[in-house]
Amino acid sequence: TYSWMRSSDALSTFETEDGFVFDLGNTIQNSASHRLNATMNMDMFYKYIGLTKGPKKPAAKPKPAAPKPGEKIVSTRQPQQSEGNVFLDGLIGVVTSVKNIQINYTQNEGTVLPGYTQSLGFFGTSKPTTGFVFGLQDDVRYEAARRGWLTIYPEFNQNFTQVVTKQLNATAKVDLFPDFTIDLTADRNYMENYTEQYDVESGIYNSRSPYTTGNFSISTVLIKTAFSKSDEFNSAAFQDFRDNRLDVANRLAAQYYVGDIPRITDSSDPNFGFPVGFGRNSQAVLIPSFLAAYSGKESGGVSLSAFRDIPLPNWTVKYSGLMRYKFFKDRFKRFSLQHSYKAAYTINSFRSNFEYEQNPNQLDQGGNFYNKTLVQNVNLVEQFNPLIRVDFEMQNSFKFLAEMKKDRALSMSFDNNLLTEIQGLEYVVGLGFRFKDVTFTSALADNPQGVIKSDINIRTDFSFRDNKTIVRYLDYDNNQLSGGQNIWSAKLTADYAFSKNLTAIFFYDHTFSKAVISTAFPLTNIRAGFTLRYNFGN
């Protein structure tokens, strides 16, 4: 898209005290959206390249015995097949287990250029460029200034703006064997907003106060440290975070310096032994150290950038194949197992650093080089929802559900070098039963006999959740349990249909919570009642 917006009559020009009149210009802007939606049917691809299980070959027929004298010869030719290459077929089955892949990518961009002095022209115009009119994001500022198409008012203060948003989502379905499916998902989101003020002198465009803000998120995998010990006393991953800083600092210094790396030799300095400009609390050092520690990677191989390019897939696993066996068929109506994992790395906000633009090779007050991009905090969120879930219904209508959930959220703040870790662990047990053909005699019946015959459905859910919030200080050993609570919950529901239009529901909810610190009181909530639901339709 392209738009040309005329300035108001009152603000189209500005006259100075010296009598100079400046044209403040109009505003032009464009936008472009690129979308890619791709769906790949992998079965067709496997057939196309010939990656299929081989047909079973006929087995060698046994040689018939010689007929006895006078015995009639009867043909016994029957097709026989061998089992083929079991190992090769199994290997092909694993390789071809990915059935469908879907990739969606969207990139939205836009530019706003105020102070544009040219008119729209008859039936539109190709100014400032044909590409800009058709949504291209090529930089036209300097060419427009050279041609005298931008205002030359020295105090012009409207912002030139460019926005870009990139979203990537990918899914895949994996069928390793019947009734066993794995759904994979991966995503990456990046948004950047660039603004600046400008002035034009003698056809030369001068950028003033360039400023960039944005946010970023990407799916990742933290499962290597998900089950490591981490409490208010110690944490192996947090200690790795501390230890990784020197290795990451050395890698950054090796990229920056040519030749020998200068180091801090003052033993009283907290950064003793670290390279000059890359101290232990430098943002450039902390982000890779943090990601390496909690993703379970070596500090020598982790990317030094705060942004990641390739999202790692998360997954959901479902298995219902036990119903294929006679033991389960005879006893259960359904039986399924489920596991799910999701994790994300997020930068809620980043912005450009004015100090870096002015002094890219200078040291700040902490003795570190200025970072080009400032990040206030980074977050890692991980969820097993559920870690394991068992759900079945027996032939006698008894229902059972049991699941375990586990989650954690890590927020690293660079303002005070504090790591806040929130841990959650939850157990859920659900029981249900259907009492069939329960009979009542009531005037609510929709038959002349006054007999109500319906099922009573009862369901009970019990849950326990343990939440903890731990604050860890990066510079000294002082982990604190700052919050959290234990929550017990019991829920009961029962419903009975008096007729096809009238249903009664009884519910009872009981919740008890107790804080893990002594500054909060225990809390109990009880909620119970009846619900009558009448449907006026047929």
- HEC-encoded secondary structure of 280-333: CCCHHHHHHHHHHHHHCCCCCCCCCCCCCCCCCCEEEEEECHHHHCHHHHHHEE
Q: What is the pLDDT of residues 317-359, one digit of tens each?
A: 999 999 999 999 999 999 999 999 999 999 999 999 999 988 8
Distance, in Å, from the CA atom of 256 to the CA atom of 274, rounded to the nearest integer, reads: 14
Q: Which residue in 146, 186, 182, 188 sits closest to 166, CA to CA?
A: 188
Position 258 scores a pLDDT of 87
Distances, alpha carbon 81 to alpha carbons 61, 89, 90, 362, 438, in Å: 10, 15, 18, 78, 57
In whole angstroms, what separates CA 210 from the centre of its chain?
31
129 bridge partner residues: none
Range with the largest mean pLDDT of 213-222, 267-276, 478-487 = 213-222
Position 66 scores a pLDDT of 62
Position 444 scores a pLDDT of 65
Tokens found for residue 297? 């990677």
Distance, in Å, from the CA atom of 2 to the CA atom of 17, rounded to the nearest integer, reads: 36
Q: Please check whether residue 304 is in contact with residue 252, taking contact to mean a CB–CB distance below 8 angstroms.
A: yes
Position 357 scores a pLDDT of 86
Position 92 scores a pLDDT of 81
Distance, in Å, from the CA atom of 238 to the CA atom of 61, rounded to the nearest integer, reads: 68
- pLDDT tier at 520 (50, 70, 90 boundaries)? confident
Q: What is the pLDDT of residues 85-112, one digit of tens each?
A: 677 777 887 888 898 999 999 999 999 9
Instruction: State the CB neighbour count (10 A cutoff) for residue 336.
Output: 18
- pLDDT tier at 75 (50, 70, 90 boundaries)? low
Q: Which residue in 175, 182, 42, 40 sits closest to 104, CA to CA?
A: 40
Segment 124-134 mean pLDDT: 83
Radius of gyration from C-alpha coordinates of the chain: 35
Instruction: State the CB neighbour count (10 A cutoff) for residue 532.
Output: 9
Cα dihedral 225, 228, 232, 233 in deg (nearest 10): -120
Q: What is the pLDDT of residues 461-503, one digit of tens each?
A: 999 999 999 999 998 888 899 899 999 999 999 998 887 888 8
Q: What is the pTM of this model?
A: 0.85
Q: What is the pLDDT of residues 16-62, one digit of tens each?
A: 777 788 888 899 999 999 999 999 998 888 888 888 776 655 555 55
Q: Label residue 312 exposed, middle or buried (CB < 10 Å: 0-12, 13-18, 19+).
A: middle
Q: What is the pLDDT of residues 393-417, one digit of tens each?
A: 999 999 999 999 999 999 999 988 9
